[in-house]
Chain A
């Protein structure tokens, strides 16, 4: 049975004696609203200088003045083009394919432009390489219209011209020629063939040039391991659509692990298909997005993860490793290993541990499994940072060995753990530093020159995301400011007159498209070179070709799914190790890597297993889905984007397990408005101390802590966006796991702005349905997706039957009838849809204070529910548990305690567009009404703001405009400055104060699709209808379409046995379908 599970949203709800929960069930607020304090105080009222008569006078006067002012209409000017560009028709959107490559996010996208303004980022369906647009990429368009952008080149605080800057820099570079001092290019990962070529030409001209690639969040360990094994500095590519068993040890691969973009492949096998779906086992310490999606999640500390991985290696590949794991964990590892072995080449292992040994072990396991999902023919190029080179640079800078430092796409003073050393080096008066930056950020503001850089939507560029998979960046708008991109400046400094556009074109024509059409590649945005490995960039002088030959595979034979030589007990023999022949190394990195020795898998595993816990607590640093590495910190959409797990906006924090919280005396509590408060702790990591708030995170491994990067930035940010605490100073040795951690609670409290935690479920736990694969495969629908019944003439009838209906059904069989289908299995909770909805529908940002008062405006929210396996009847997990050794029972029981390791489910909720909508019947002015096409309309200009509709909505999806967010200095977000307003969608009205708003099912998009068809005089094909969220969903969880078109996918989904409607027993007949979440709990 499915619905016996107890769902809960916050830890508070688990406390059965909680008065807060009881109060919230009855009242809107936890505490009485202090109206009496105000109204009952006669003295205060009487001492007011405004008498009743005065008040009435003011009211009368302002009413009269307002009506008089309204009588005169404004004169509106229309200014047409002088010469209208041929491709622009006012009122019609143009789309351009381009690519974001900001060093952290890499994705091929389509940019929607209106009247020459980019207004929205969409997925480029032609891009087969990884990297569909995530939430940050969707939000990146707003960065273009950031009012704090640097508007021209500057020397310190003084604005200068590009000629001045160019001359000064070129003079300096010439002077440094042969001076013994280095010219250093410190850049983000460009992964750009043309930029690499350009840099090598720059090197040729000046000689003493060093190019250091720096990733704020480093994947250096994985790169080193891969390079050692395969001779190429890249990352293995994983195609999870080819994996049926996925074991992840600390890899948040649905987040930003190794560049991200794996979610669409992962989601493909998460949907039960002919009784089969993938099984995902996650070993991790923080509750990550990936762990939340796992079929089985095992919380364990980072040190335990290392041992677990070593053991996994020994179980799968062979060899014995030492290392102690609690019995329960060891069992979980054994189960995972046996499942992997059973899956054979359908299994895959990944890890996020920043440890060369761990990464090597994973490569070995995948090799041994011959994992289909493991792809080394087209490795990922989007992380190339080299920690050692960065450290060497900092040392050289301090020693005064660097004469010129040219930075692009990096902010080391914010992201470097040893930022003070870097700052010291930067202060050296013989060092000229040029920082290409869009902002006067921490680094740019102290650099000698700020070279104002354009946004990627104003730039040219090319990217090789995966080997052989190329993408182009093209400008979608003329530069808004006096900016110049790094590559254009570099061309100039190399003494070339051409632009980077010409340079790319030339380079592509000669070495990439080779005979193909550059224009076609530009139109598509992507280009895939011939499928053969190595031939991808044949002839390209950008990255010198590397050929890895894998030999000596013959000794390892695959028998019955077990590695033959595993029995030998030493893992892979030294002489068996893959030998590779490297014809040359990459040119873009300094060759400090030659020193990396290649440990064999067995050695690596043993080294891993030897890792011991050095302190009571271990800290795992991670990146949030919303903020990433923090380069978009001035983006209000992302600041207000709720974290998928903690549902917290505008903040970062320390996550801690409930046990540890009890131990240290850390508390979380709700206050009158429903807002969450927490204690403050003083966190000390390797001697660096910071005061941080704490969120008690269910599922956090005991003895581990988590904290996210990307917050705590100060420079180049609006005051409102300077949120959270910077975690980069803790990032010693570029290792996301830090062990020398201590903390103590200090007085004071912190106010969080969380969504979803303000109210309770009101006992409607059946809002989400889930089941196990076993039940789904063996039982019929009534077992896992029963339709609620009501009594009618003393007979039980399903609520969906006609007799149970209070209302007459409206005939919707003619024309279109839209339905949105949401598959809870495929939904990973990534939140791309949330930002896409913001961009498409001009949803305002309300700020931290308002969110805390539960006045968030998200039309689309992704609810996160925790559930405990305790009450999950028929749960195999529990059976296993009981059959286990009695000695392990206590430990295992501990592992499975309600809030210690909950299961997580995500449920996107937007207006359900009920056919029997409760909101429509209570509106006194008929501002909300129903259309024949199934959409619940909202006429904003008719709304008088009674909010009856919001109160009567069982799904709580209606949002009230408490303020005029687009013209109020209190809300200094993008809608309040002329630049930020350029992102607004001109087809959707910007709502005013006092008006209710909600999801419209993107009626502007459906109407446009219909109109286009009418104009062409044709019928509409399935798939043409889209909403912003369904178009943004790369995992295929959201499908939109017309159910009156019987051949459409959404009509087929309507008949699916997993299909249910939210709160079906209420009888609202929604037009949004949900598909029961199925978990694959089958142990091997």
Chain B
């Protein structure tokens, strides 16, 4: 969190320097302007609604701007104040810039061109639809003091931890009390037993000793039938378990390898509700779902440079931010300069779902044609912090699904004729994938 502030400071000192070097004649002019602007700023601060401004900012500006961090565009905290202090530019200039930045650049405005060049010659999108009120709301939001979110987060974590430990303490207490209770009971029983024996001795009652007949194991060993049955039982049981063991060889259900970058599907697909196929886009058209290339990650992570969601003791904000830094390193992205270094380090992900070579599987058939949800086979990925293999990926598993699942024929001209004829032949309303030929060997093995 410190870094953005630092960069901000650097920025402002730079600006100061430039100001100092200006001619004296301008100073007076500037002074008057400052007074004027301070006046107007206070005005705007009064008239703008930071809450409305925030939503407007998020809707329109957040793709390229942050309050405290340089991104595609400059950081915008106190932008109005800074502009008027350092550059002597007023609200009108800002409004003109927001509504038509390229116009301002073309007019030859010095500061506009400076900014334009500083950010790689990319003009800001024009927002002619923003009214004066909207702009003042946004500026009011940018003028808000920065919160101390880190502290808040820590307290939050602290609170959860506290409540968590509270739970475990109460559990232990109950368990301890129970243990003590049982110990007391046992002790009481021994005491009772002892007392009763003493009474018996005193009264001269004989306590029956154990029967001296054949011991149970000997009796068992002598009964050949029982031995045979037991042996058969054990053989069958072991065969059962050996078979069970062998048939799970090569089945990697639950396989959950450690990945080079801790990518949380829970955060992306769950918390943020990103569609699976946004990243795994080739699942729509190709046999493979495709591991997203790093440029897809950078679509968002150019602006999402820190994690702001819920954290736990294990997965702290620092942890997640560190993982984002790993992504930057891999993509060769220099976050401070907002530039690619050109020396990427491709990420070697560990493949989780491994179908053998002799089985042909096509994602697009299932995703696009059949319209299946990804979760049908991959499980609740949106809840997985670390992805694991949900399905066994065995042939039996494939076949069962093909037997039970109806073919999605609606609005698909390919199926019209064949479905009509086949369903008549089988006398069913809806054909399953199996009836359509989905169990034939050659459909998956070639």
Contacts and interface: CB of A to CB of B under 8 A. Distances in A.
Interface stretch (B29-37, B90-98, B285-293, B310-318): B285-293
Interface in B332-350: 332, 344, 346-350
Interface in A810-833: 811, 813-815
Contact of A84 (B296, B347, B350, B425): B296
A1046 interface: no
Contact of A1004 (B291, B344, B360): B360
Interface in A74-125: 75-84, 89-92
A937 B441 contact: yes
A815 B291 contact: no
Contact of B443 (A79, A811, A815, A1007): A1007
A75 B257 contact: yes
Contacts of A938: 441-442, 445-446
What is the predominant secondary structure among interface residues of chain B facing chain A? loop
Contacts of A84: 293, 295-296
A932 interface: yes
B349 A929 contact: no
Contact of A82 (B294, B348, B362): B294
B365 A1011 contact: yes
Which bucket holds chain A's interface residue count?
A: 35 or more
Contact of A937 (B294, B417, B442): B442
A705 B323 CA distance: 75
A282 B443 CA distance: 48
A942 interface: yes
Nearest to B251: A73
Contacts of A942: 441, 445
Given A73-B250, A1013-B414, A940 B349 contact: no
Interface string B415-431: 11110011001000000
Interface in B108-134: none
B360 A987 contact: yes
Interface stretch (A271-279, A1017-1025, A1067-1075): A1017-1025
Contacts of A521: none
Contact of B293 (A70, A83, A815, A1014): A83
B441 A80 contact: no
Nearest to B437: A932
Contact of A81 (B257, B294, B359, B422): B294
Nearest to B362: A1011
Interface in A486-530: none
A671 interface: no
A1015 interface: yes
A939 interface: yes
B446 A83 contact: no
B356 interface: yes
B425 A814 contact: yes
A90 B290 contact: yes
Contacts of A940: 358, 445
B249 interface: yes
B242 to A, nearest CB: 12
Nearest to B412: A1017
A80 B280 CA distance: 11
A1015 B287 CA distance: 12
Contacts of B167: none
A933 interface: yes
B358 to A, nearest CB: 4
A78 B351 contact: yes
Interface in A925-961: 927, 929, 931-933, 935, 937-942
B272 interface: no
- Residue from the set B257, B358, B415, B421 with the largest chain A CB neighbour count within 10 Å: B358
A83 B295 contact: yes
B49 interface: no
A1004 B446 contact: yes
A591 to B, nearest CB: 53
B25 to A, nearest CB: 52
B282 A91 contact: yes
Contact of A80 (B347, B358, B415): B347
A84 B331 CA distance: 12
Contacts of B294: 80-83
A1014 B446 contact: no
A347 to B, nearest CB: 49
B249 A71 contact: yes
B288 to A, nearest CB: 4
Contacts of A815: 418, 422, 437
Contacts of B191: none
A985 to B, nearest CB: 11
A1000 B118 CA distance: 62
B403 to A, nearest CB: 16
B369 interface: yes
B349 A1018 contact: no
Nearest to A932: B437
Nearest to A929: B441
Given A71-B249, A73-B252, A1000-B446, A79 B349 contact: yes
Nearest to B369: A1014
Given A77-B350, A83-B295, A1000 B413 contact: no
B145 to A, nearest CB: 40
Nearest to A1017: B412
A550 interface: no
B405 interface: no
B357 interface: yes
B354 interface: yes
Contacts of B364: 1011, 1015
A82 B360 CA distance: 27
B23 to A, nearest CB: 48
A526 to B, nearest CB: 29
A988 interface: yes
Given A815-B437, A1011-B365, 15 more contacts: A73-B255, A77-B350, A80-B290, A81-B346, A82-B344, A90-B290, A931-B437, A937-B440, A940-B358, A941-B358, A1000-B446, A1013-B414, A1014-B365, A1017-B412, A1017-B413
22 contacts: A78-B349, A78-B351, A81-B295, A82-B344, A84-B293, A84-B295, A89-B290, A90-B290, A92-B285, A814-B425, A927-B441, A929-B440, A935-B442, A937-B440, A938-B441, A939-B358, A942-B441, A989-B360, A1000-B446, A1004-B446, A1011-B362, A1014-B415
The 10 closest A-B pairs by CB, nearest first: A937-B442, A91-B286, A84-B293, A81-B293, A82-B344, A91-B287, A80-B291, A91-B288, A941-B358, A76-B351
Interface of B: 249-250, 252, 255, 257, 282, 285-288, 290-296, 330-332, 344, 346-351, 354, 356-360, 362-365, 368-369, 411-418, 421-422, 425, 437, 440-443, 445-446
